[in-house]
Amino acid sequence: MIRIIVTGGTFDKRYDEIRGQLSFDSTHLPEMLRLGRSRVETTIETLMMIDSLEMTDEDRARVARSCAQCAETRIVITHGTDTMVETARAVAEVVRDKTVVLTGAMVPYAFGSSDGLFNLGSALSFAEVLPAGVYIAMNGQHFAWNAVRKNRQTGVFERL
Amino acid sequence: MIRIIVTGGTFDKRYDEIRGQLSFDSTHLPEMLRLGRSRVETTIETLMMIDSLEMTDEDRARVARSCAQCAETRIVITHGTDTMVETARAVAEVVRDKTVVLTGAMVPYAFGSSDGLFNLGSALSFAEVLPAGVYIAMNGQHFAWNAVRKNRQTGVFERL
Amino acid sequence: MIRIIVTGGTFDKRYDEIRGQLSFDSTHLPEMLRLGRSRVETTIETLMMIDSLEMTDEDRARVARSCAQCAETRIVITHGTDTMVETARAVAEVVRDKTVVLTGAMVPYAFGSSDGLFNLGSALSFAEVLPAGVYIAMNGQHFAWNAVRKNRQTGVFERL
Amino acid sequence: MIRIIVTGGTFDKRYDEIRGQLSFDSTHLPEMLRLGRSRVETTIETLMMIDSLEMTDEDRARVARSCAQCAETRIVITHGTDTMVETARAVAEVVRDKTVVLTGAMVPYAFGSSDGLFNLGSALSFAEVLPAGVYIAMNGQHFAWNAVRKNRQTGVFERL
């Protein structure tokens, strides 16, 4: 059983056709799991639905508390890429004896050409088999939370 | 470094618009890795491009030999789902000390609503971290080669 | 008010993921009109759901009768491309004083990269403004029923 | 021969994955015509690439001049929906003896679920057969330039 904690990010951005802007509504996770024909037992918890550039310390504390307090010992967090590493650190300070994998997308799932479906399959798989620890799964790779940074120019996560 | 051995299957089926039939041409793997923004180092080898219902014992032997002889110790095989378990067995009889993950799709990648991208992200991730052995990765799950069957009625892989 | 008569064809083919074959189920027309945000008043009649290579003279007579007997004077017929011209002739022998536009697709709508949505927008527009007559609308063009053939090599409709 | 004048609008918006914002780059028109398998002879002129809310009177004058001065007598203009009616009026004040059809989209073509392909098929078809005049083609319908408004609440064009 894997808990999926949704926080928003590019993953879940959609196009508001009346206002002509990017926006958030409900999460695409259930649709993505159905499309991927996932048979992994999951519980989805939408904790917040925000751009990760707007995430406060208090928001990160809420994410860490959810990880610590939930019954599951294997957790996937969907998160904006810009501050994913900061949230991973906040989780690592609090959570022990659980496998936590943060993932996201560079292109919104709703925009058809997304890396989101690929990353979701990847993150769930890492969460199933990696030992306890806090990881980031992007671009088909996994990184320990304290050994990675996002390259803002290329949009790629790099090992430190 | 992961070797991806392509054998065809639903994964790579496309629509031949002149003849109005399903057909094979070149593999979609490079496009899928690009779409998934994969940064995993991979070598793609197109070994055959066939429906797995037409795969012969000799074809399976070729797949097993490719796994045994290649330099890489981590391998993903894309394969039709109907006889994926038989090929996994043929590989397991020959290959030692390598991590081999077979995966596929129920809906062709080219048809827009495919589980292929999700499964590819999943299979690469399992191939990176699982210990030596032969596995099937479908529906976000992994199975030892001798502990799984495809349920033909539901299209889902089940643990034996 | 435009009547849309559905007969099947590539337009409405889908992928049967359990049997691994192309098949027909219900028509995609309502979904396509919603996606195109169409505000044209339409009535959809699914008359048959077959490959146009399997269409018999009796089937064509049924299509022609539906055109002649319905209340609407403006009609779009979705049809396989292989025998679209034959059906257009059968309709032209029977129907007077109505604008009938046959259209189809070379790639199934369900396969993501279809010409179907483009052709549907085109066919509805021609049906709204062309004078009485029987036409084929493909590739953004319209042809009188007796001045067109399908080039089987290129998949393109050509003026005679 | 139809001239297509590109001005930007939702039609051509794309997602800038590095900055996480909507943006413009080159037009999607050639790709859309290829996907629609269009065989209409067209010349594409990218006049500007802007959101129609930012279009100035001088921009509208440039669009009108392009329509008046080009050799073609049948013209399609792709345009943001918010001020499409204003530009139609500016064109109508200047252009005589030509058929000009403005069209657009509520959802960017690049976002997979666009009305753009449907509207493009529709606009080209209206441009081929309507008599001289300035029209707006949206939602499968056509309107004289001075008999239509956009309903900002519903995103639908309505006859006055």
ipTM of the complex: 0.96
Chain B positions in Cβ-Cβ contact with residue A148 (cut-off 8 Å): none
Q: And the tokens for B124?
A: 């690469």
Q: And the tokens for A103?
A: 């993932």
Closest of A66, A31, D128, D6 to residue C125, by C-alpha = D128
Q: How far apart are CA C26 and CA C157, in angstroms?
A: 27
Catalytic residue among D10, D42, D81, D83: D10
For residue C68, the distance in angstroms to the closest alpha carbon of chain B comes to 31
Chain A positions in Cβ-Cβ contact with residue B139 (cut-off 8 Å): 36-40
Q: How far apart are CA D126 and CA D136, in angstroms?
A: 10
The yes-or-no answer on residue A27 being catalytic is: no
Q: Is D118 on the interface with C (CB under 8 A)?
A: yes
Q: Is A111 on the interface with D (CB under 8 A)?
A: yes
Answer whether D130 sits within 8 Å of C129, measured CB to CB. yes
- Residue of B29, B33, B35, B37 to mutate when probing chain A, most A C-beta within 10 A: B37
- Residue of B41, B99, B122 to mutate when probing chain A, most A C-beta within 10 A: B122
Q: Which residue has the tokens 């919104």?
A: A108
Answer whether A121 sits within 8 Å of B126, measured CB to CB. no
Closest of A88, A105, A97 to residue A28, by C-alpha = A105
Q: And the tokens for B52?
A: 């797995």
Q: How far apart are CA A47 and CA D114, in angstroms?
A: 30
Chain A positions in Cβ-Cβ contact with residue D106 (cut-off 8 Å): 17
pLDDT at A94: 97
Examine the pLDDT at D111 and tell me if it is beyond 90. no
Chain A positions in Cβ-Cβ contact with residue B119 (cut-off 8 Å): 36, 121
Are A141 and B39 in contact by the 8 Å Cβ rule? The answer is yes
Q: And the tokens for B11?
A: 């994964």
What pLDDT, in 10s, does the model give residues C115-127? 999 999 999 999 9
Return the axis-axis angle of helices C84-92 and C57-69, rounded to nearest 10°. Answer: 50
Chain D positions in Cβ-Cβ contact with residue A116 (cut-off 8 Å): none
Examine the pLDDT at D112 and tell me if it is beyond 90. no
Q: And the tokens for B109?
A: 């990648």
Q: Is A106 on the interface with D (CB under 8 A)?
A: yes
Least confident of A137-141, B18-22, C86-90, D111-115: D111-115
Q: Which residues contact C90 (CB under 8 A, 6 or more apart)?
A: C57, C60, C61, C63, C64
What pLDDT, in 10s, does the model give residues A48-72? 999 999 999 999 999 999 999 999 9
Strand partners, B15: B22
pLDDT at D121: 98
Q: How far apart are CA B125 and CA A127, in angstroms?
A: 10
Q: How far apart are CA A45 and CA C158, in angstroms?
A: 56
Q: How far apart are CA B54 and CA C44, in angstroms?
A: 41
Examine the pLDDT at C110 and tell me if it is beyond 90. no
Phi/psi region, residue B139 (left: phi>0; alpha: psi -120 to 50; beta: rest), is left
What pLDDT, in 10s, does the model give residues D47-96? 999 999 999 999 999 999 999 999 999 999 999 999 999 999 999 999 99
Q: Is A36 on the interface with B (CB under 8 A)?
A: yes
Catalytic residue among A10, A42, A81, A87: A10
pLDDT at B114: 84
Q: Is A110 on the interface with D (CB under 8 A)?
A: yes
pLDDT at A149: 96
Q: Which DSSP symbol is given to C37?
A: T
| Chain A, chain B: beta-carbon pairs less than 8 Å apart | 110
Examine the pLDDT at C112 and tell me if it is beyond 80. no
Examine the pLDDT at A112 and tell me if it is beyond 80. no
Burial bucket for residue C46 (CB in 10 Å: 0-12, 13-18, 19+): middle
Residue of D nearest to C120 (CA): D118
Average pLDDT, chain A: 96
Count Cα neighbours of D84 within 13 Å in the Cβ-side half-sphere. Answer: 37
Examine the pLDDT at B145 and tell me if it is beyond 90. yes
Q: How far apart are CA D92 and CA D94, in angstroms?
A: 5
Q: How far apart are CA D46 and CA D25, in angstroms?
A: 11
Residue of C nearest to D106 (CA): C37
What is the mean pLDDT of the segment spanning B1-28? 94
Q: Is A94 on the interface with B (CB under 8 A)?
A: no
- Residue of D40, D122, D138 to mutate when probing chain C, most C C-beta within 10 A: D122
Q: Is D50 on the interface with A (CB under 8 A)?
A: no
CA C127 to each of CA A46, A80, B64: distance values in angstroms, whole numbers, following the listed order: 47, 47, 59
Answer whether D156 sits within 8 Å of C36, measured CB to CB. no
For residue D90, the distance in angstroms to the closest alpha carbon of chain C comes to 25
pLDDT at B110: 85
